[in-house]
Amino acid sequence: MAENFVESITNMEDDFAQWYTDIVKKAELVDYTGIKGCMVIRPAGYAIWENIQRELDRRFKETGVENCYLPMFIPESLLNKEKDHVEGFAPEVAWVTQGGGETLQEKMCVRPTSETLFCDFYSHIVHSYRDLPKIYNQWCSVVRWEKTTRPFLRSMEFLWQEGHTIHATAEEAQARTEQMLNLYADFCEEFLAIPMVRGRKTDKEKFAGAEATYTIEALMHDGKALQSGTSHNFGDGFARAFGIQYTDRENKLVYAHQTSWGMTTRMIGAIIMVHGDNSGLVLPPLVAPVQAMIIPIQQKKEGVLDAAYALRDRLAKTTRVKVDDTDKTPGFKFAEQEMRGIPVRIEIGPKDLANNQAVLVRRDTREKLVVSLDEIEVKLAELLKTIQHDMLERARAHRDAHTYTATTMEEMKDIADNKPGFIKAMWCGDRACEDAIKEQVGVTSRCMPFAQEHLADTCVCCGKKAKTLVYWGKAY
């Protein structure tokens, strides 16, 4: 029975895309709908998002962020106010042209992002330097008309948070842009056990309408990159387009400076693709909705279920814990717990009770530990902390082992064709070289990392003087 459960997952080495799809379905994270490109996020998947949301929200508020909510519809005239922005999103916009049986006088788009709405809002409430800064965020969904979709990674509607801030000076806006990018990176590493490369996007890859876009990039198990969070400095471009001026301390009328930053349900896909294995999900303890599953062995024997419930009640004070008291076989329960990625399995049966012990089994390594019931709270807490740490270190080791350097186009092409992962190479800063690398090598610029290295004096593409190190790669 247990074997059949696992055999229903395609081996990741055989077909990574099918392996991913099998996991999101078998672990009951999502289901498909009759609406092409849209997904049902099932309770098991939504519980992960709730934990991500809760922790991010806590970290946001520590930096002075306040939550608000703006409409989901944007009038066409409002969207058209910032030229670069509307051009960047035009192919993905869903339009509403009719309401209540009547043709609308002005068509409205379903928000692909909310910069224009926030700008309109700020133009009404920002008048003086005393009104600044505004550090706002909203939790919502957005719609982007994608041609190719995949659960969590790319769907027509997805959940996210979008922060939008407005400041008196360029320096304040830049500081907030970098602060939120680093907050995202710390969150991913500390909470999701996913190491990040932090850096700036090239002008080609930056957000439509932004002065500068900063990104955190993660490496998936198959060697592809995943943009995991972005933070944008808009300068005063949007403020000029929307007439957002304020009176400064010298009583002069000046334009404000803005930022925006976002993270989405795509991070659930990242968790799957960084930590998962051929038995299913592997969840880092901090984000796992259930951190430990108690599985009673020979549960029909007197005292076993009562002991399992008593143990649950003890552990529930410090851990998210459940008892699997279904009538399935222990083998099936083990496989199901592994599929769902629950970090620790706790086995307790008649022999364990006789010896005042329980068996703790790690999901990530399958290592077994026999623990006295007298100290199980302490031992479980220590184990969960160890698993969280070890998962990050394994992911970091995998990323570092699949990060390569190239100083010529031939080297770069060979790596891209034969060694999936990040490629570090020097770049002159010319868009033509960036385009040529994409065309000839098949990789895109992921970011210009904050942690710069000097690999060569010349650009990997044209041989001219290099300006910056860039991480390149194939990406989702």
Q: Would you say domain 403-473 falls under CATH 3.30.110.30?
A: yes
Extents of the domains making up the chain: 2-275, 292-383, 403-473
pLDDT at residue 3, as a whole number = 43
In tens, the pLDDT along 361-382 reads: 999 999 999 999 999 999 999 9
| Token representation of residue 221 | 């198990």
**pLDDT tens for each residue of 150-172:** 999 999 999 999 999 999 999 99
Map residue 472 onto helix, strand or coil: strand
pLDDT over 70 at 314, yes or no: yes
Average pLDDT, the chain: 96
The single residue listed with the structure tokens 């002065």 is 211
Would the pTM of this model clear 0.75, i.e. be above it? yes
Note the pLDDT of residue 6: 52
- What is the pLDDT averaged over residues 75-103? 88
DSSP output for 110-137 = EPS--HHHHHHHHHHH--BGGG--EEEE
As separate numbers, helices (DSSP H) first and strands (DSSP E) second, the chain gives 15, 23
Q: What is the mean predicted confidence (pLDDT) over 87-98?
A: 88
Buried b (16+ CB within 10 A) or exposed e, 136-153: bbbeeebbbebeebbbbb
Domain spanning 2-275: CATH superfamily: Bira Bifunctional Protein; Domain 2 (3.30.930.10)
**Sheet strand arrangement including 102-110:** 73-75, 102-110, 94-99
- 240: pLDDT strictly greater than 50: yes
Tally of residues, the chain: 476
Which tens digit of pLDDT belongs to each residue from 4-21? 455 589 999 999 999 999
The letter for the amino acid at 431 is: R
What stretch of H or E contains 38?
Answer: none
Q: Tokens standing for 380?
A: 């479980």
DSSP state of 408: S
Common-topology check for domains 2-275 and 292-383: no
Architecture of domain 292-383: 3-Layer(aba) Sandwich (3.40)
Encode pLDDT of 180-215 as tens digits: 999 999 999 999 999 999 999 999 999 988 999 999
Residue 311: name the closest of 328, 294, 297, 326 by CA.
294
Q: Is the pLDDT of residue 388 over 60?
A: yes
Residues in contact with 264: Cβ distance below 8 Å, sequence separation at least 6, in sequence order = 158, 159, 160
Paired tokens of 239: 């403020």
Per the omega criterion (within 30 degrees of 0), is the bond before 133 cis?
A: yes
